[in-house]
Each structure stands twice: as structure tokens, then as C-alpha cells.
Structure 1
Amino acid sequence: SGLFAAKNIETLQHATCDVSRLLTMGYAVNSSLKLVCDRFSLTNRQRLAVMRSACSDEQLSGRRDREVQFYELDARPLVIDGYNVLITIEAVLSGGFIFIGRDGCWRDLASVHGSYRRVEETVAAVEIVGRCLTKAGVTDIRWLFDSPVSNSGKLKTLIAEIAEKNNWHWDIHLLTNPDSEMITGDRLVATADSVVLDKCKQWINLAAGIIQYEKLNANIIDLSGNPTA
């Protein structure tokens, strides 16, 4: 996509830095985005990339303090933010762009607005997650999906079938508000959702770990630091 061609990356890096600076100064997310993105004349998809990649200094510090690295997984009980992780791996497999945010999280631009549609890459994405976690020695895994999202029931059934076939003993649950359990629970949380990252006890950048350890071919755009030029 021309929106994320090499010639535009520096602009997106500048925009992410500027939005992060405004957030650090206490400005609201929407007004910060509008001010900066209007100045750079960014499209809606470019704005979304900047919004998902930016964070304040306080958010950055808190997230870093609570982050567990992939190599530290070590058979810890894990709760997976189902749509968040699965859709990112699906995006990689379908050739979508993955953005490294200021907090180091790897995120896609897809979003679930009330409905989820199984795609060609869904089964492969679930199997990749399962294989990678098995190799890492993680067996106590709880998947959470938003029950208000249509087709969540079908996805739960599909994942349960894949797990049974591979002898993975997973707990898969549909909840009205998965964020609440991830924030208040004691399990290590696998998500890149900013709201959860700022409030949960500990989290892991699972999608990034899987992409790297499984050597998946990803279209990565790094918006994590200062502009390259």
C-alpha cells in the first residue's frame, strides 16, 4: 500500500513522536491525533497506525515495568486476548502491515466492530500459536473472546477442535467483557490492547514473540522510536 511506502515512514515516525509528546503533556488522545495528523495530512488508516503506536512517557514506563519477555514464559499460566492475538497473526499470514509501537508492541490495523469473520488464515494462525506455546512449555492456557462479537461461538468451536486434534488442553471462554478478567486476574496476559496493558499485573508481547520465533514473513513498519532522519 502506498500509504505505508518507504517514503511515508519518516512522516509516520514524526507523527507518532509528536502525538506521544502531547499525550505526555496531558492532552487527550483525540485532540492530540487531530492536531498532529491534520498537520501531516494523514489518511484515516495512517492515523490509525499512529494512534495504535503512540503512548505517553508514563504509559511507556508502566508497560515496560510490567512486561514479561517471550523467553521468560517458562510454563506460566497464560490468558490470551483471543481476537487481539489471533487477528495479528492472521494479518501477518495474509501479508498485512504490522506496526511496532513506541511501547514495543506489534500491532495490526484490523479491528473487530461487532463481528468477526473467519478467514483463510484462521486455522493456520491458531495452529502457529499452539505450536509456539507448546515449544515454549506453556500448557495452562485460557483463551478469552468477546461474546457480543458475532461468530465468537463458531470461532470457539473451531479452536476447540484444533486444540483437541493437537492434544492441547485449552480453556476457551466467551465473556461479555474479557478486559475485566485480564486486568484483575493473576495470569500473565497476552495482548497488545493499550487499555489492558496499562492496568494488568503483567503482560507479554505474544504476537511479536510468535512472529520472531516462528520466523514468519511479516511486513513490519517500525514506529517505535525517533525518526530515522
Structure 2
Amino acid sequence: MNNRNRGKNTGDDTLFGSEKQVSKLKLAVEDMQYLLSRDYPEKAASDLVGNRYRLKTRQIQALRGMSASDVQLHNRQLKHVDISDLKEKTIYLDGFNVIILLESLLSEAYVFEGLDGCIRDLSGVHGTYKRVNQTLRAVELIASFYRKNHIQKLVWIFDQPVSNSGRIKQLVLEYAEQNRLNWEADLQFNPDKFLAESSGIIISSDAWILDHCKEWFNLIGYLISEENLSVNLIKTK
């Protein structure tokens, strides 16, 4: 057993732990939304806003995750489905996006609610996925969601190029077999494109996927309230 988790980085309490820093971030998100809605490129907008509020690198990363243009927000809202729409459906889940976010959240890392209502974190896969102490708990939470809402089938999509993607796929399939869940897991070279083009309902908080998919559901937001999870959540409003 390893002792890894996806908790806070050193310095995150300084960047996100005070009312002053959170207030600054909220103002920055407002400015960012204004600029994105007037077609400023994301990089230029975040540089401008970052300089204005003297944001550090991780604060800018959070700012980008929380921000979107008016058009993006409107379109994402139109495509968001309710929990009642999931019954007897096949759902496609953005494997690394969801599991790493849950691992971060369960490790008490800071997570951020975007203007679109999606929760995002500051970690990610950098070529290699490593299982952590919270991995199994993350899978259990997804299983609980799957059972409660009578989902017909859940298809996990993982990035084939990521090292250890085969291992996490195996873990998910073994868990499903032991618990008699109708789950599939698939490795894709371009999972974002695959999910965006899928005809099913998507679970992801990846902005590009949300902008391009047909329908999506906000699983992390649902789990936080349904399972009453304790989270270090920074909200935009």
C-alpha cells in the first residue's frame, strides 16, 4: 500500500485559504468573463487579469478553470441534463478527469466551482497516472451514484497514451465484476474527441468536452451534495 494522496500543494493555503485571496479571485473571474465574452483569447485574457490582480501561477490556473464566456455558459447550460434524465441510460465517463478530481477532493485539496457550476482542481495527469489512497473511495462514490440512479450502463474512457491507464482500467473492471455492475472501460488515443462525438450523456468537467458534447451531467457537484462530502471548495459567487 502506498501513502500517496492528491492533497494541497505547499503554499496553497496562502494562495486560497484567506478571505482576501478568495475575494481577489472572484473579482478576477468577473474580469475574465468580461474579456472572454468579448472574444479575447484565453491566454491573453488570463495574462491581463493575472497582472491586474498580481496572481500567482496556481491562482491563474484556478482562474482559467473557473472562467468562461457568456456564450459558453449559455450553451453548456442548455446541454446539461438533470439527475432524473440518467435512468436506464448509457453514460460515458471521462475517466482520468473524474477520478483525479475525486481523489483531490477526498485528499482535502482546494477545488474550484466554475461559473458553469462544474468543479475543477489543480492537479492532472502528466504522462503517468499513479493510484493514491483515495482511488478506491472515488470508485465507490461513482458506484453509489450508478446504483442510486438506475443507470443502465457506465462506460469509463481513459487516455491510452497515459502510463498505467491499463492498470486503472483493470481496477475499474475488477471492481465492477466483484460488485455486479454493468460497467465497461475503454482506452482511447483521443478521449476528448471520442467523448465530444459520443451520442450518450457525458460526465466530465473538461471545458472543451463540455463545449463540444451533446449532453452532460455534473457528477462532482451531485456527489458533493448527495454524499455530503467535506470539501475545500472555492466558489465563484
TM-score normalised to the size of structure 1?
0.95
Deviation of the 1:218 alpha carbon: 1.0
Aligned mate of 1:12, from 25, 32, 39: 25
Query: Any residues of structure 2 matched to 1:2-81 within 5 Å, and which?
Result: 2-5=14-17, 6-81=19-94
Identity of aligned residues (%): 37
Instruction: Give 1:95's aligned residue.
Output: 108
Find the aligned partners of 1:209 and 1:163 in 2 and give their Cα distance. 21
Find the aligned partners of 2:136 and 2:195 in 1 and give their Cα distance. 24
Find the aligned partners of 2:152 and 2:158 in 1 and give their Cα distance. 19
Deviation of the 1:96 alpha carbon: 1.0
Deviation of the 1:144 alpha carbon: 0.1
Given residue 77 of structure 1, which amino acid in structure 2 is its aligned partner? T
Find the aligned partners of 2:57 and 2:152 in 1 and give their Cα distance. 40
Find the aligned partners of 1:46 and 1:69 in 2 and give their Cα distance. 31
Mapped contact 1:132–1:214 kept (Cα < 8 A): no
Given residue 220 of structure 2, which amino acid in structure 1 is its aligned partner? A
Given residue 47 of structure 1, which amino acid in structure 2 is its aligned partner? I
1:103-139 deviation line (CA, Å, top 9, x unaligned): 1111111111211111010011111111121111113
Deviation of the 1:168 alpha carbon: 0.8
1:28-74 deviation line (CA, Å, top 9, x unaligned): 00000000011111111111100001000010000000001234322
Mapped contact 1:70–1:206 kept (Cα < 8 A): no
TM-score normalised to the size of structure 2?
0.92
Secondary structure in 2 matching 1:189: strand
Question: What is the CA RMSD across the aligned residues, in angstroms?
Answer: 1.0
Find the aligned partners of 2:195 and 2:64 in 1 and give their Cα distance. 22
Aligned mate of 2:117, from 88, 92, 104: 104
- Note if 1:177 corresponds to 2:190: yes
Secondary structure in 2 matching 1:19: helix
Aligned mate of 2:208, from 191, 195, 198: 195
Mapped contact 2:155–2:185 kept (Cα < 8 A): yes
Structure 2: 5+ residue stretches without partners: 1-12
Structure 1: 5+ residue stretches without partners: none
